[in-house]
Amino acid sequence: MKSAVTRTWYRIALAAPSGPPVLVEAQGEHLGVAIAAAQHHVERSRAIACEVAPDGPLGESVGRNQVIDLGPANDVAGFAWPVGVLPQLGATAQLAEAKRGWVHHESEKLFVLEAQTEADQLVDLYLGMVERLPAADNLEIRVLDHFDDAGQTDVWLTARVNAKQIIRFLDDHDTDLIDNGHVELSIYVRKHKATLRLTEHKTVVWIADTPELEADVKRWFGELGVTRVPQLVPISRVPHYHYRSAKTRDRKKLSEQLYRQRLRKVDTLRPALPPPADTDG
């Protein structure tokens, strides 16, 4: 006997092609399903903010797939965040200056460049960077602790591969891995002691022990339409939600798929327990 599927109601602000943003309530097995229903309800719209609804609509007559119109939204339509992350309702004004670009983070021990781009350009940016790497050795996939509230991060690793194999793999699994705010990807470039990462906040980060490829990485960003900016305004600045798109696998099925693709689970990370409280005597 199958267990009943739990559905949650969410409030979602939508930007439409014309008119001000609107607020709706939609339900789903997870946030991505609710966002898909909301965007289908308002033609050619995109989600700009969301939150769990404090109380679902009253009455048993509300249909399972129904979307409830709540009127104008207070949130503003700005940066088109990639699939997988959305700011919390009421936080979009704090992200008004968010835009596509890259920055050089100051660090004493590491050379770090970070870029962000709009939703429809993220796949091209990340795979475009992979395509330009002089070498690539392994792909690491971190299935994060907030995926299905598992409370642990599972670390999966490919065998030794090359950039073409990684691109082919990510092309085949882009929905499950790139359109998923519960997953973080890292590609290791051992010769240059560097990592190309797609973070859980959907930024693309180059991390290296030395600035050996500095000019190359900056040029690659430029070739892919991302220019240097004074500062990034990332979604991590404000309260936000991570989600996966409607057609992705849940955590269990994704893990099964990674195993079938011959990745190895090399580690399981759990949050450190807080230190015990001081006691007298």
Would you write out the chain's pLDDT as a tens digit for each of its 281 residues? 445 578 899 999 999 988 899 999 999 999 999 999 999 999 999 999 999 998 776 544 455 558 999 999 999 999 999 999 999 999 999 999 999 999 999 888 899 999 999 999 999 999 999 999 999 999 999 999 999 999 999 999 999 999 999 999 999 999 999 999 999 999 999 999 999 999 999 999 999 999 999 999 999 999 999 999 999 999 999 999 999 999 999 999 999 999 999 999 999 999 876 555 443 44
DSSP state of 178: T
**Residue 108: per-residue pLDDT:** 80
**Residue 8: per-residue pLDDT:** 94
**Residue 123: per-residue pLDDT:** 97
Burial class (CB in 10 A: 0-12, 13-18, 19+), 72: exposed
10-48 per-residue burial string, b: 16 or more CB within 10 A, e: under 16: bbbbbbeeeeebbbbbbbbebbbbbbbbbbebbeebbbb
Please give the Cα distance from 26 to 189 (Å, whole number). 43
Please give the Cα distance from 225 to 264 (Å, whole number). 35
Beta bridge partners of 241: 86
> Are β-strands 8-15 and 46-52 bridged in parallel, bridged antiparallel, or unpaired?
antiparallel
pTM, entire model: 0.91
Read off φ and ψ for residue 88, nearest 5 degrees: -70, 150
pLDDT in tens, 107-160: 888 999 999 999 999 999 999 999 999 999 999 999 999 999 999 999 999 999
**Residue 106: per-residue pLDDT:** 85
* Helix-helix angle 163-172:122-132, to 10 degrees: 160
Beta-carbon-side half-sphere exposure of residue 274 (alpha carbons within 13 Å): 3
- Please name which of 142, 33, 46, 146 lies closest in space to residue 87, comparing C-alpha atoms: 46
- 129-114-246-38 Cα dihedral, nearest 10 degrees: -130
Using alpha carbons, list the distances in angstroms from residue 177 to 62, 84, 98, 150, 255: 33, 10, 24, 17, 11
Which amino acid makes up residue 108?
Answer: E
**Residue 221: per-residue pLDDT:** 98
> Are β-strands 111-116 and 22-28 bridged in parallel, bridged antiparallel, or unpaired?
unpaired
